[in-house]
Amino acid sequence: QMQLQESGPGLVKPSETLSLTCTVSGGSISSSDYFWGWIRQPPGKGLEWIGHIFYSGSTYSNPSLKSRVTISVDTSENHFSLKLSSVTAADTAVYYCARTYNSHPYYFDSWGQGTLVTVSS
């Protein structure tokens, strides 16, 4: 069974770049069956889709974040990554990576456990 695991710094300073990695185990990130996504959840609030990527590198991002978001994939390491630039306190959230299907990318069926990122000086 495929599993996803987020990793990265738990504390980022304002105006800096948040960087997270999602490592996929139990399957290949190069599979043409899946897209790989990022979703976040501010403390006590709802879910916000950030973006997702295909193994070939094709990406889609939330227009509200697009100018600050970079999503990339490393097939040799079987992981994909998120960079969010110029962060502020509003970017404090639990960040989840998740999987959706290439053939029907309408929902996320497998999620990582999430990692809390706090933006603070």
Partner 1 sequence: EIVLTQSPGTLSLSPGERTTLSCRASQSVISSYFAWYQQKPGQAPRLLIYAASRRAPGIPDRFSGSGSGTDFSLTISRLEPEDFAMYYCQQYGSSLYSFGQGTKLEI
**CA dihedral sign of residues 5, 99, 24, 62:** negative
Q: Are 89 and 43 in contact (CB under 8 A)?
A: no
Q: Which of residues 29-48 bind partner 1 (CB under 8 A)?
A: 46-48
Of the candidate spans 21-29, 70-78, 85-93, 97-105, the one that interacts with partner 1 by CB under 8 A turns out to be: 97-105
Per CB under 8 A, the segment of 8-16, 23-31, 60-68, 79-87 that binds partner 1 is: 60-68
Which residue, 64 or 75, is less far from partner 1 as judged by CB? 64
Q: Rule CB under 8 A: is residue 88 a binding residue for partner 1? A: no
∠ CA 120-71-73, rounded to 5°: 125
How far apart CA 105 and CA 52 sit, in angstroms, is: 10
Q: Which residues bind partner 1 (CB under 8 A)?
A: 46-49, 60, 62-63, 96, 98, 104-109, 111-114
